[in-house]
Amino acid sequence: MSLSLKQIKENCQTARQRMIQAREEHWAFGAFNLDDEPTLIAVARAAQKRHAPILVEVSQGEVDDIGIDNIRDLVDNVKASYGVEIYVNLDHSPSVEAAKIGIDAGFEFIHIDISQSNHDASEEEIIQATREVVNYAKFTGASVESEPHYFSGSSNLHKEAIDYDEIRKTFSTPEGARNFVENTGIDTFAAAIGNLHGKYPVPKILDLDLLKEIRAAIDCNISLHGGSGTPGHYFKEAVLIGVSKVNINSDMRFAYRTTLEETLKNNPDEYSVSKLVSKYVIPAVEEVVLSKIDDFNSTNRALNS
């Protein structure tokens, strides 16, 4: 089913209001990656059980694999079926053109990140691209997120240790955050405080004192990318400080793959893989999402609760 322009604008306006509410009430949206329909179902079931508002997000890889209009339809169908409050985020959109396509498709949240396709993009190039997306998004009211430099890591399972001496060089600063927000007009600033993409052999360590300084320096929403592999107490403190959105991907993918591998091993005579996914994999991913919702203090925060 396709959304009318009126519905898209209404959804975007509601999403904006809800982000403000999250900050004021000290909870955060979990932004969970959508790899396929079983992942989406796992997220929706968790949201339904906890009466929690959620975002599902896709990067360019999922857009290429599934199709941007199909993603919108999948989410809207699940939203209707499970009766959950759910919005769509285009995560790490690598170009202005790709971001505009997401806006036209009715996505409520757009993350423009040209540093994904060009790690050496200058801050001025990033600002110019972000500003263009912010202006384009005014047509539907979609919220725009960005950051002034490349965000390290990947959504895979990493075997190397975390080199915090190197990572600290790319930490956000209060002054840098303020200047970037003022120069772009973004709705959400993606802060770098020790969070990085992927799942690592050791837990991540977040600089919450720095987060407090950034929160005091800017008046827009704050998100944390690379939430996987982070001890839950950091999230509980971060939402109290004023984080409104936390991205989770690798923890879900790890649960999906390891559960699927074990299930296939234990069921060598079952060739209907979809049955095994429904019985074993979806519940495993759902458990990950449930635990994150608890950490984000978003239980019973849905509009229909």
The domain that contains 100 carries what CATH number? Answer: 3.20.20.70
Residues contacting residue 134 through CB under 8 Å, at least 6 positions apart:
144, 184, 185, 186
Kindly state whether residue 263 falls inside one of the protein's structural domains. yes
**How far apart, in whole angstroms, are the C-alpha atoms of residue 186 and residue 127?**
10
**How far apart, in whole angstroms, are the C-alpha atoms of residue 149 and residue 250?**
21
Residues contacting residue 12 through CB under 8 Å, at least 6 positions apart:
108, 140, 141, 142, 143
Residues contacting residue 164 through CB under 8 Å, at least 6 positions apart:
194, 205
Kindly state whether residue 87 falls inside one of the protein's structural domains. yes
Kindly state whether residue 302 falls inside one of the protein's structural domains. no
Say if residues 250 and 197 touch (Cβ distance below 8 Å): yes
Kindly state whether residue 303 falls inside one of the protein's structural domains. no
Q: In 178-189, which positions are buried (b, 16+ CB within 10 angstroms) versus exposed (e)?
A: bbbbebbebbbb
Kindly state whether residue 119 falls inside one of the protein's structural domains. yes
Look at residue 130 in the predicted model and tell me its pLDDT. 98
Alpha helices in 152-207 (DSSP H): 164-167, 174-184
Look at residue 305 in the predicted model and tell me its pLDDT. 56
| Backbone dihedral angles phi then psi of residue 275, each to the nearest 5 degrees | -65, -40
**How far apart, in whole angstroms, are the C-alpha atoms of residue 114 and residue 82?**
35
Look at residue 36 in the predicted model and tell me its pLDDT. 96
The domain tally of the chain equals 1
**How far apart, in whole angstroms, are the C-alpha atoms of residue 45 and residue 41?**
6
Q: Among 98, 75, 93, 59, which Cα is nearest to 11's? A: 75
Say if residues 94 and 113 touch (Cβ distance below 8 Å): yes
CA angle in degrees (0–180, nearest 5) for 288-246-125 = 135
| Backbone dihedral angles phi then psi of residue 73, each to the nearest 5 degrees | -70, -40
Look at residue 246 in the predicted model and tell me its pLDDT. 97
Q: Among 227, 235, 231, which Cα is nearest to 211's? A: 235
Q: What is the DSSP letter of 279?
A: I
Kindly state whether residue 258 falls inside one of the protein's structural domains. yes
Reading the block at residue 94, the tokens are 């690598």
β-pairing verdict for 221-224 and 188-191: parallel
- Where in the sequence is the domain holding 179, given as residue range(s)? 5-295
Residues contacting residue 184 through CB under 8 Å, at least 6 positions apart:
127, 130, 131, 134, 146
**How far apart, in whole angstroms, are the C-alpha atoms of residue 221 and residue 188?**
4
Look at residue 196 in the predicted model and tell me its pLDDT. 82
Characterise 226 by phi-psi region: left (phi > 0), alpha (psi -120 to 50), beta (else): left
Digitized pLDDT (tens) for each residue of the chain, 305 residues in all:
588 999 999 999 999 999 999 999 999 999 999 999 999 999 999 999 999 999 999 999 999 999 999 999 999 999 999 999 999 999 999 999 999 999 999 999 999 999 878 888 899 999 999 999 999 999 999 999 999 876 665 666 667 676 777 777 889 999 999 999 999 999 999 999 988 876 676 678 899 999 999 999 999 999 999 888 899 999 999 999 999 999 999 999 999 999 999 999 999 999 999 999 999 999 999 999 999 999 999 999 999 75
The answer to pTM > 0.75 is yes
Kindly state whether residue 113 falls inside one of the protein's structural domains. yes
Q: Which residues are catalytic?
A: 91
Q: What is the DSSP letter of 277?
A: I
Say if residues 213 and 157 touch (Cβ distance below 8 Å): no
**How far apart, in whole angstroms, are the C-alpha atoms of residue 9 and residue 104?**
11
Kindly state whether residue 271 falls inside one of the protein's structural domains. yes
User: Which amino acid, residue 303?
Assistant: L
